[in-house]
Amino acid sequence: MSMWTTWPSREALDREGRSAGRQVVGRGIRAILLGVAVWAITTRTHLPGWQTALALIGLVAAAGAVWLFFRLTLRHLLWPSLAVVLALLGGAVACQALGATVAASVLMCGSAMISIQRLPLAAGAPLAGAALLDFALMGRGDGWLVSLLTVLGLCLLGYTARLDAEARGNTQRLLVQERAARAAEAETAALAERARIAREIHDVLAHSLSAQTVHLEATRLLIERGADRDLVLERVVAARRMAREGLAETRQALSALRGDMSPVEEFLRELVSSEGARLEVRGKPRGLPAEAGLAVRRVAQEAMTNVRKHAPGARVELRLEYRPAEVELEFRDFGGQGAVDNSLGESGSGYGLLGMRERAELLGGALDAGPVEEGFVVRLRVPA
């Protein structure tokens, strides 16, 4: 039932989605029909001059009515559209009475086709039926079979045009939806890339600046206590070394964003050598995806930063294990000279730990962190 009462979609009725070639063909057909009607009025009728002029004015008015009908149906205005079609049919009857049968046929057939094509079928079909019945009766001298075939052909042509317009409208809607989806996808990708860059900046700066802060604070305390010059100088040199390492890490982060990174094992060996830690590699080494390798690097850096903060001087061991479908990094410290702050692992309130967990979960992995019998352990697993 909805098929009979539903309007064609606005995309189907609008010309915006039509190709240039289709629009040229449509305008050409309308121009030919108008020319045939003018020719019929001026050469095939025997009317006085003023009546011929009146008929031509009426034909121009009919063309304007068709234009108005297209605008009204585009806005889905039913009753004004019906009034325009009835006016066209009235003009066709007037042309028939004046003997302009060709012009009358053009108006009748045109009214029938545009009614089927652009109106709800419940309204357009009766109008088209009345117009084509009048056309068939007007041409009854050609025989009932010819009239019947002509009427059926016109009905089929109008309905085919309606289906073609609907298909084009559906294509236009899908195209608009696809463009919107692509725009949303591009925006999502841009936001994801911004989040990735933000994580890289945080991880690099947190690792580098926090280490420098520790050494500089120690330097301040040594100076206030009047410590030996060599001790102060040692801390200053360490802070400078951390600054250089931070610069190198920043460059590595930029390389990572470009997808150009050194092997994970090489990075971890450099990290443990600078901190006096120990690295164990299990399984058969292989190249890791860029995101997985970056996660391992950043988790190792963040965990090492936490050791400097909460367990200075602690013995540190790293284990990198290659598994068939994933890679695991275990970072463990065995307690430092000062008190170990295990609240970070218990509550998960530390921004660094949250960042590590977020990085792992985005890759479909997991991160566990918490106190053990002696010290603290961070364990990362990511697909690779």
Give the rounded percent of residues in the chain with a pLDDT score beyond 90.
7
Instruction: Evaluate whether 375 touches 310 at the Cβ level (below 8 Å).
Output: no
Q: What is the CA radius of gyration of the chain?
A: 41
Alpha-carbon gap, residue 275 to 305, rounded angstroms: 11
The mean-pLDDT minimum among 64-78, 123-137, 219-233, 339-353 falls in: 339-353
Q: Where residue 49 falls among pLDDT bands split at 50, 70, 90? A: low
Q: 330 falls in which pLDDT band (50, 70, 90)?
A: very high
Q: Per-residue pLDDT averaged across 233-244, rounded? A: 81
d(Cα 329, Cα 72) in Å, to the nearest integer? Answer: 69
- How does residue 378 score in pLDDT terms, banded at 50, 70 and 90? very high
Residue 103: count other Cβ atoms within 10 Å of its Cβ.
30
What pLDDT does 380 receive?
Answer: 93
Nearest-angstrom CA–CA distance, 138 and 141:
8
Task: Tell me the pLDDT of the chain averaged across its residues.
Answer: 78
Query: Could you tell me the two tokens for 84?
Result: 């325009």
Q: Which helix (H) or strand (E) segment is 290 a member of?
A: helix 290-310
Please give the structure tokens belonging to residue 21.
């070639």
DSSP letters spanning 189-235? HHHHHHHHHHHHHHHHHHHHHHHHHHHHHHHHHHHHTT--HHHHHHH
Dist CA 230 CA 249 (whole Å): 28
d(CA 246, CA 207): 8
Find where tokens 């559906």 sit. 170
Most confident of 11-20, 75-84, 245-254: 75-84
Task: Provide the pLDDT for residue 379.
Answer: 92
Domains of the chain with CATH codes? 2-138 (no CATH), 261-384 (3.30.565.10)
Confidence of residue 20 (pLDDT cuts 50, 70, 90): low
Taking the C-alpha atoms of residue 55 and residue 39, their distance in angstroms, rounded to an integer, is 12
- Distance, CA of 131 to CA of 116 (rounded, Å): 11
Positive or negative: CA dihedral 109, 110, 111, 117? positive
Q: Is 104 or 352 the better-scoring residue by pLDDT? A: 104
Pairing of strands 376-383, 366-371: antiparallel
Residue 367: band (very low, low, confident or very high) from pLDDT cuts 50, 70, 90? very high
Q: Evaluate whether 256 touches 294 at the Cβ level (below 8 Å).
A: yes
Give buried/exposed letters for 196-218 (b at 16+ CB in 10 A, else e): beebbeebbebbbebbbebbeeb
Please check the confidence at residue 72 and state whether its pLDDT lies above 60.
Answer: yes
* Helix 290-310 vs helix 351-362: crossing angle, to nearest 10: 160
Contact 222, 239 (CB under 8 A): no
**Residue 319: pLDDT over 90:** yes
Question: pLDDT of 80-128, one tens digit each?
Answer: 888 988 888 888 888 777 777 777 787 888 888 888 888 888 888 888 8
Q: Is the model's pLDDT at 138 over the cut of 70?
A: yes
Poorest-pLDDT segment among 90-99, 206-215, 232-241 = 206-215
Q: Tell how strand 278-282 and strand 316-322 pair up.
A: parallel
How far apart, in whole angstroms, are the C-alpha atoms of residue 72 and residue 57?
A: 22
Q: What are the percentages of helix, strand and coil residues in the chain, rounded to 5?
A: 70, 10, 20
Give the pLDDT band of residue 26 (cuts 50, 70, 90): low
Q: What is the mean pLDDT of residues 42-62?
A: 70
Instruction: Give me the sheet containing 366-371, strands edge to edge.
Output: 278-282, 316-322, 326-333, 376-383, 366-371
pLDDT band at 339, cuts 50/70/90? Answer: very low
pTM: 0.47
- Mean pLDDT along residues 363-375: 86
| Distance in Å from the first CA to the final CA of the chain | 56
User: pLDDT for 159-192, tens place per residue?
Assistant: 888 888 888 888 888 888 888 888 888 888 777 7
